[in-house]
Amino acid sequence: MKRWIKFVGLGFTTLTGLACLIIVAMLVLILGNVVIHGGPRLSWEFVSGEPRAGMTEGGIFPAIFGTVALVLLMTLAVVPLGVAAAIYLHEYARQGSQLVHLVRLALHNLAGVPAIVFGMFGLGFFIKFVGSGVDRAFFRGQLTFAQPCILWAALTLAVLTLPTVVVATEEALRAVPRSYREAAYAAGATRWQVVQHVVLPQSVAGILTGTILAVSRGAGEVAPIMFTGAAYYLPYLPKKLNDQFMELGYHIYVLTTQSPDVEATKPILYATVLLLLALTFALNLVAILVRSSIRRKLRGA
Amino acid sequence: MSPILEAGGFSAWFGRQPALSDITLEVVDHEILGIIGPAGSGKTTFLRSVNRLNDLAPDFRREGTIRFRQVDIYRGDVDLAVLRRKLGMVFAVPVPLPGSIYHNLMLGPRLNKTRGDRNALVEKTLQAAYLWDEVKDRLHQSAFALSGGQQQRLCLARTLMMEPDVLLLDEPCSGLDPISTAKIEEALVQLKRELTVILVTNNVMQASRVADRTAFFLQGRLIECGATRQIFVTPAEKETHEYVSGRFG
């Protein structure tokens, strides 16, 4: 009997360990494959140049630039909105009220909507509805904003990443000890002052975590921007909010499926994937560094 | 002397749970009123009713009145921020906020938008809290680096920065060593020249040491309230006698 139990225990240890091993192995496989095939193709020219010769030569700078611009715009939109919503939900709304329930339900469902649906939503809502409205109202009906562009793509991504930011922010707000709030209230703080002086400074690190997650998610999504602003090939960089743009994820899709010469684009494809991974990683790293420096500042004086 | 605070038939509930029943109690200017009683007797609830901190609990309900300088504090037009600044509170567990000692002290002025030069007041309140000598060279270091006793005295100083009329202390020494406790008690005795103190304490001896008058709470009721000496030597009620002589609680 005892031996049998030991055997089962050993079996479970092996199985669970194996599961972890498979996770690591998959990551190593993906990364290794990408690095081996894409690494040699990386060069300064590749990072800084434009695609040439039907995308079989040259670089991918427009796509890098477009990705960074897109993610920045998205962050500008999603963080204020998400943080404000989370503050209302956690600090102002009466807990357990119908409204809070409804908003939470909406958030959970939003988080479960497939990315391609967000793409269609962006096309229908932002471009066809909002964009046309803006054009009619401000540009005498001239086609300005009723077309795919970086603004609508960024906003579509913002809708997609909104649940991430709200949930992470709420988590951060919840982590602020009740005693801090009470101390502030007892010192004569109004509700807004409690939020402003105690709750928000304490939650910055958590809010940044949410932003990091949103950024990494947003930087990697292709489906939402396919119809809302990403371009197949553009010889220039986006300069205005209603310009189209190239984006790394979409560029990978294009290289994979639309290339006239699959073999010739293969090294470029690998290098692009490597760059997208590196860029996402770099964005994450920056956010993590900012977060840890804020944490350190909070803990110290 | 007219009372600075007076509770009249004050009762409170959390949900259906009664926490205070029919408390009628007066607090006189420049006294230290000790409130003693076993855990769950409503001492803290009473204290938190006085600065309306209980309002934060969604299921809090009350009846009766508490008057501060003749004004019913539960009246609709009372400015809670102003009320809570006049009735400063120190909690059982020291609650230093993240940031420096100075940052902590400036909490009240920051909220009150009375920044300006508060250095004189900082020194005065730290002196009053018996903390100045220990922290005067490191005002800009983290408040978390202080010991528990120092943190609690910092919280006392932080409350004093608001220049309150009444000091509400909720078992301020429950987690402290005897030396820190003694320092806080000394501070209170000095402070009553300038303000009124309500001291909720689990430590019966502490009430006997510093309180001018003592109130004994039991199961949400005020059993009796009188001069500390009378409560400890010739209590009118049997429960009071049993509690102060350590037979229960």
Q: Cβ of B97 and A198 within 8 Å?
A: yes
Please tell me the total count of domains within chain B.
1
Nearest-angstrom CA–CA distance, B183 and B218? 29
Q: What is the pTM of this model?
A: 0.79
Asked if residue B196 belongs to a domain, the reply is yes
Enumerate residues 6+ apart whose C-beta is below 8 A from A163: A107, A108, A110, A111
Question: Rounded to a whole number, what is the distance in Å from the CA of B86 to chain A's nearest CA?
Answer: 9
Q: Cβ of B85 and A187 within 8 Å?
A: yes
Count interface pairs A-B at CB distance under 8 A: 72
User: Burial level of A160, CB count in 10 A (0-12/13-18/19+)?
Assistant: buried
Q: Cβ of B111 and A202 within 8 Å?
A: no
Question: Rounded to a whole number, what is the distance in Å from the CA of B75 to chain A's nearest CA?
Answer: 17
Nearest-angstrom CA–CA distance, A273 and A279? 10
Residue ranges making up the domain that contains B71: 3-244
- State how far the alpha carbon of B65 is from the alpha carbons of B13, B40, B46, B62, in Å: 14, 22, 12, 9
Q: What digits encode the pLDDT tens for the residues B22-81? A: 999 999 999 999 999 998 899 999 999 999 999 888 889 999 999 999 899 998 888 888
User: Burial level of B163, CB count in 10 A (0-12/13-18/19+)?
Assistant: middle
Q: Which of residues 175-204 of A touch B (CB under 8 A)?
A: 179-190, 193, 197-198, 201-202
Q: Which pLDDT band holds residue B210 (cuts at 50, 70, 90)? A: very high
pLDDT above 90 coverage of chain A, percent: 17
User: Burial level of B125, CB count in 10 A (0-12/13-18/19+)?
Assistant: buried
User: Burial level of A226, CB count in 10 A (0-12/13-18/19+)?
Assistant: buried
Give the residue with greater pLDDT, B160 vs A131. B160
Q: What digits encode the pLDDT tens for the residues B174-195? A: 878 888 899 889 989 999 899 9
Residue of A199, A89, A182, A96 whose CA lies nearest to B56:
A182
Q: Which of residues 207-266 of A touch B (CB under 8 A)?
A: none
Contact list, A299 vs chain B (CB under 8 Å):
98, 142, 144
Asked if residue B249 belongs to a domain, the reply is no
User: Burial level of A220, CB count in 10 A (0-12/13-18/19+)?
Assistant: middle
Q: Cβ of B111 and A193 within 8 Å?
A: yes
Q: Cβ of B84 and A188 within 8 Å?
A: yes
Contact list, A205 vs chain B (CB under 8 Å):
none
pLDDT per residue, tens digit, chain A (301 aa), is 678 888 888 999 999 999 999 999 999 998 898 898 888 878 887 777 777 766 666 778 888 888 888 988 999 999 999 999 999 988 888 877 888 889 888 988 888 888 899 989 988 898 889 888 888 888 887 887 878 888 899 999 999 999 989 988 988 898 888 899 999 999 888 888 999 888 988 888 888 888 887 888 888 888 888 888 877 777 778 888 888 888 888 888 888 887 777 777 788 888 888 888 888 888 778 877 877 887 777 665 4
Would you list which residues of chain B are within 8 Å, Cβ to Cβ, of chain A?
51, 53, 56, 58, 80-85, 88-89, 91, 93, 95, 97-100, 103, 107-108, 110-112, 140-142, 144, 155, 158-159, 162
Contact list, A202 vs chain B (CB under 8 Å):
98
Per-residue DSSP letter, B100:
B
Asked if residue B185 belongs to a domain, the reply is yes
Q: Cβ of A301 and B103 within 8 Å?
A: yes
Asked if residue B92 belongs to a domain, the reply is yes
Residue of A94, A189, A201 with shortest CB distance to B111:
A189
Domains and CATH numbers, chain A: 42-299 (1.10.3720.10)
Asked if residue B156 belongs to a domain, the reply is yes
Interface mutation target, options B95, B106, B137, chain A, most CBs of A under 10 Å: B95
Roughly how many angstroms between the first and final C-alpha of chain B, as a whole number?
Answer: 34
Q: Which residue of A has its CA nearest to B48?
A: A186
Residues B65/B10, Cβ–Cβ less than 8 Å: yes
Asked if residue B120 belongs to a domain, the reply is yes
Chain B contact for A300 (CB, 8 A cutoff)? yes
pLDDT at A218: 83
Residues B172/B92, Cβ–Cβ less than 8 Å: yes
Q: Cβ of B82 and A188 within 8 Å?
A: yes
Question: Rounded to a whole number, what is the distance in Å from the CA of B160 to chain A's nearest CA?
Answer: 10
What is the sign, positive or negative, of the torsion defined by CA atoms of A114, A120, A123, A126?
A: negative
Q: Cβ of A301 and B141 within 8 Å?
A: yes
Nearest-angstrom CA–CA distance, A5 and A143? 73
Residue of A183, A202, A298 with shortest CB distance to B91:
A183
Contact list, B158 vs chain A (CB under 8 Å):
187
Q: Cβ of B95 and A180 within 8 Å?
A: yes
Contact list, A179 vs chain B (CB under 8 Å):
91, 93, 95
Radius of gyration, alpha carbons of chain A: 23
Find the CATH number of the domain harbouring B216: 3.40.50.300
Cβ neighbour number for residue A138 with a 10 Å cutoff: 11
Q: Cβ of A197 and B107 within 8 Å?
A: yes
Enumerate residues 6+ apart whose C-beta is below 8 A from B70: B2
Residue of A189, A201, A301 with shortest CB distance to B81:
A189
Question: Rounded to a whole number, what is the distance in Å from the CA of B181 to chain A's nearest CA?
Answer: 21
Asked if residue B44 belongs to a domain, the reply is yes
Per-residue DSSP letter, B119:
H
Q: What digits encode the pLDDT tens for the residues A220-269? A: 888 888 888 877 777 778 888 888 888 888 888 888 887 777 777 788 88
B115 has pLDDT over 70: no
Interface mutation target, options B111, B137, B162, chain A, most CBs of A under 10 Å: B111
